[in-house]
Chains A and B, each alone.
Chain A
Amino acid sequence: MSMIFGVPLAVLSGQLLIGVINGAFYALLSLGLAVIFGLLKIINFAHGAMYMLGAMATVILFDNLGVNYWVALFVAPLLVGALGVIIEYFLLRRIAGQDHIYSLLLTFGVALLLQGVLTNIYGVSGLRYAIPELFKGGVNLGFMFLPYYRAWVIVVALVVCLGTWFMIEKTKLGAYLRAGAEDAQLMQGFGINVPLLVSLTYGFGVMLAAFAGVLAAPIYSVTPVMGSHILITVFAVVVIGGLGSIGGAIITGILMGVIEGLTKTFYPPASTAVIFLVMVLVIMFRPSGLFGKEA
């Protein structure tokens, strides 16, 4: 068997594929962050908590109401998105236009609150959620065993990412959003309800996080703290991609998943640090990020 740096090629291919799968999660999450920052200039530290809420809602809806995975895929993000709109309307709106640090602290507080309350109710051992019947089992690719569910995650995550990119960059609605971000007053003058647009945009970004949470529910331990682990990584991804760059968030997300996966193969202890190392290098040589516009 051919080897690369002492690792069999087959194992390496498996790791690359796993990297892409994890990268798809990073892409979905960082996409939401980029949308919220790019269009609203809000540093959303509650993003991890929203991801967690998506997963928790999936489990809670199933346990209490028997709502299945396919319904949860729509309902859970809608519920969490609605919560996002409420948060925007009652809290974030009050600090609009202030320094970014206020939105960071406010959303961080919201995240801690949600996490604390749910920890007290559900504990941290994790809630069970079975993989949907359709995706049980997997296929042997020769170099690795690919669970069907993971394959589904890549496909659906990519579709949602590209759909979002298309909507923001290529449609009229997207044009309104981008224009609103540039000059809200002018847009108001054209008779567009900018505050509503802002609420909906925040709600949409949050929905993306919750959607990633639903996808994660069958494969990771669903706990109130699951979002805090991933949040910092996702922020690093967004910084590397360029704050606010929609396409950058998607490409960097997948790229970082792969880099992390390779590190787990060659030197596992560094796997939690490697993304931050890349972030440091990017900030040093290209402060606006790989895909960011020069300030």
Chain B
Amino acid sequence: MTMMKKLLTSAVASAVMVGGAQAAISNDTVKIGYLADMSGTYRDLAGPNGLKAMEMAIADFGGKVKGAKIEVVSADDRNSADVASSTVRRWIENENVDLVAGLVASSVSIAVSDILEENDKLGIVSGSAASSITNEHCTPNHIHYVYDTYPLANGTANAVVKEGGKSWFILTADYAFGHALEGDVTRVVEENGGEVIGTLRHPFPTPDFSSFILQAQASGADVVALANAGADTTNAINTASEFGVTQSGQTLAALLLFLTDVHALGVEAAQGIQLTTGWYWDMNDETRAWSDRFMEQTGVRPTMVHAGIYSSTLQYLEAVEATDSDDAQTVRKQMMETPINDMFATNGKIREDGRMVHDMYLAEVKTPDESENEWDLYKIVRTIPGDEAYRPLSESKCPLVSSK
């Protein structure tokens, strides 16, 4: 009898579906592959705690979507495009993974997005910075969620040039992300009447920055800008303070700093540094409430990437529920049509190039006197509205953009 009932219900359900598309969740399972650097340079800003954030989202969603199971698999990409590619191929071909999330090193994200496009699966990039991911490397199969190099340059470089930092020397991490950031910064500096008098590309990762800092010092530039991330940035900032870069009259601009980096540096060394961020845990009651729950589970405060992984997982699951499908194009379309309003973003929107556009924030690291505890690190100086922060579609090189 119950069997009969089930059959009947599903028959009715199928009949009701408009358009008769094969809108059903494949294998009765929504399977998410979490791919990130779990042990290397970028571990703390995404890594295992990003997986925790994703599991929090799944639990908050109720653990099931339309009666289908939600499963998670995870892997360490070791910041290698090769390792990432073979993992994602295996996930798609043998393990029926529907969504690949996490995605930190830009080189990894670009390699993975190609495989996703080949196999028509979906990816949500939360950790990567390169703005090229939704520009020349855009595909109809991925979404770039948290931030990218364009607003980093727009926010920080803009602020520093306007404060009088006219000549710039850029230390760039020598790979996709660094190059993208260097390009975006150069544009912003020049547009504001400044000049880039030198750039220097350092290998990734570089444990010793003394030689590079010395060259930056010798350049005599007003501003020494760091177009790198993670341990490279903290190492460079430490070395700069050791060699008295700011004492000799130069301004230090870190273009990408995560909460975990500032925490590692401490307010003593990092005070006064301006940075651009997509989110901060202590912005309002909603962000604080979620961060408290996150901290209970992990022992640390969340970075913007952790928050973005939580938010994007919820958005994805809601889109799967709304469409009763785990088909990449159906879900992506639904996500594009739904404004994002949660603890991460207000009126966020996903554009046709895959860029999730939301407000960004110019923040300044507090002084030791202002900071009340080890995670009380930023004051928000200014909100940069999403449309002002991100690359306008009119400048896009993405072939998916129709309104160019």
In the complex, which residues 124-169 of chain A have their Cβ closer than 8 Å to any Cβ of chain B?
124-128, 131, 137-138, 144-145, 147, 149-150
Contact digits for A256-286, partner B, Cβ 8 Å, 1 yes 0 no:
0000010011001101100000000000000
Cα distance A123–B261 when bound, in Å?
Answer: 11
**One of B38-46, B88-96, B289-297, B396-404 contacting the partner:** B38-46
User: Once the chains bind, are B200 and A11 in contact (CB under 8 Å)?
Assistant: no
| Contact of A264 with B211 in the complex, beta carbons under 8 Å | yes
For residues 182 through 215 of chain B, which have their beta carbon under 8 Å from a beta carbon of chain A?
A: 200-203, 205, 207-208, 210-212, 214-215
With contacts A125-B234, A219-B239, A219-B242 taken as known, whether A225 is within 8 angstroms of B212 at the C-beta atoms is no
State whether the Cβ of B248 lies closer than 8 Å to any Cβ in chain A.
yes
Query: Is the CB–CB distance between B205 and A116 below 8 Å?
Result: no
Assess the B217–A145 pair: CB atoms within 8 A. yes
Q: For B242, what are the chain A residues with a Cβ–Cβ distance below 8 Å?
A: 131, 138, 147, 149-150, 219
Q: Does A73 touch B at the CB level, under 8 Å?
A: no
B40 engages A225 (CB within 8 Å): yes
Scan residues 194-242 of chain A and give those whose CB is less than 8 A from a CB of chain B.
219-221, 223, 225-226, 229-230
Pick from A11, A126, A128, A221: contact of B215, CB below 8 A.
A11
Q: In the docked arrangement, what's the CA distance between A11 and B212, Å?
A: 11
A188 part of interface (Cβ distance < 8 Å): no
Q: In the complex the two chains form, what is the Cα distance from A145 to B205 in whole Å?
A: 25
Query: In the complex the two chains form, is A223's CB within 8 Å of B231's CB?
Result: yes
Residues in A whose Cβ lies below 8 Å from that of B43: 119, 123-124
Q: How distant is the Cα of A269 from the Cα of B175 in the complex, in angstroms?
A: 11
Q: How far is the CB of B82 from chain A (nearest CB, A)?
A: 18
Known: A11-B214, A15-B214, A229-B207. A126 touches B234 (CB 8 A): yes
Contact assessment for A221 and B174 in the assembled complex, using a CB-CB cutoff below 8 Å = no
Determine if A21 is an interface residue (Cβ-Cβ < 8 Å): yes
CB neighbours of B44 from chain A (8 A): 123-125
Shortest Cβ distance from residue A215 to the other chain B in the assembled complex, whole angstroms: 13
Residues on B with beta carbons closer than 8 Å to the beta carbon of A14: 214, 218
A224 to chain B: closest residue by CB: B39
Asked whether, in the complex, the Cβ of B264 is within 8 Å of the Cβ of A126, the reply is: yes
Q: What bracket does the count of chain B residues touching chain A fall in?
A: 35 or more
A125 touches B210 (CB 8 A): no
Please tell me if the beta carbons of B214 and A18 are within 8 angstroms of each other in the complex: yes
Residue from the list A11, A21, A229 in contact with B218, Cβ < 8 A = A11
Flag whether B158 is at the interface (Cβ < 8 A): no
Alpha-carbon gap, A268 to B171, bound state (A)? 11
Contact A219:B238 (CB < 8 A) given known A128-B266, A269-B203: yes
In chain B, residues 227-243, which have Cβ atoms closer than 8 Å to a Cβ of chain A? 230-231, 234-235, 238-239, 242-243
Asked if B212 contacts A8 (CB within 8 A), the reply is no
Flag if A125 contacts B261 (CB, 8 Å).
yes
Q: Is the CB of A269 within 8 A of B214?
A: no
The proximity string for B residues 240-261 relative to A, scoring 1 for CB distances below 8 Å and 0 otherwise, is 0011100010000000000011
Q: Which residues of A sit under 8 angstroms from B203, Cβ to Cβ?
A: 268-269, 271-272
Chain A interface size, under 10 / 10 to 19 / 20 to 34 / 35 or more: 35 or more
B265 within 8 A of A: yes
Residues from chain A with Cβ under 8 Å of B208 in the complex: 22, 220
Contacts of A265 in B (CB 8 A): 211, 215
B207 to A: closest C-beta gap in Å: 5
Query: Taking each of B214, B239, B260, B269, which has the highest tally of chain A beta carbons within 10 Å of its own beta carbon?
Result: B214
In the assembled complex, A10 has its CB within 8 A of some CB on chain B: yes
Q: Is the CB of A268 within 8 A of B200?
A: yes
A126 to B238, CA, bound (A): 11
Q: How far is the CB of B218 from chain A (nearest CB, A)?
A: 5
Cβ of B382 < 8 Å from any Cβ of A? no
Distance A123 CA – B299 CA, assembled complex (angstroms):
12
Establish whether residues B231 and A18, one from each chain, have CB atoms under 8 Å apart when the complex forms. no
Give the residue of B41, B211, B218, B244 whose beta carbon is less than 8 angstroms from that of A124: B41
- Select from chain A the residue with minimum beta-carbon distance to B37: A124
Q: Which residue of A lies closest to B49 (CB)?
A: A123
Please indicate the chain A residues that have their CB under 8 angstroms from the CB of B39 in the complex: 116, 119, 124, 225
**Residues of chain A with a CB closer than 8 A to B162's CB:** none
B200 pairs with A150, CB closer than 8 A: no
Known: A138-B243, A220-B208, A271-B203. A124 touches B215 (CB 8 A): no
Q: Is the CB of B244 within 8 A of A145?
A: yes
From residue B37, how far is it (CB to closest CB) to chain A in Å? 9
Residues A127 and B264 in contact in the complex (CB < 8 Å), given A147-B242, A221-B235: yes
Q: Which residues of A contact B45 (CB under 8 A)?
A: 125
Which 8 pairs between the two chains have the least Cβ-Cβ distance? A125-B264, A264-B211, A126-B264, A125-B44, A272-B203, A123-B44, A125-B260, A124-B43
Q: Write 20 A-B pairs (CB below 8 A) sorted by A numbering.
A: A15-B211, A19-B211, A22-B208, A124-B41, A125-B261, A125-B263, A125-B264, A128-B265, A128-B266, A128-B269, A138-B242, A138-B244, A145-B244, A145-B248, A150-B242, A265-B215, A268-B203, A268-B212, A269-B201, A272-B203
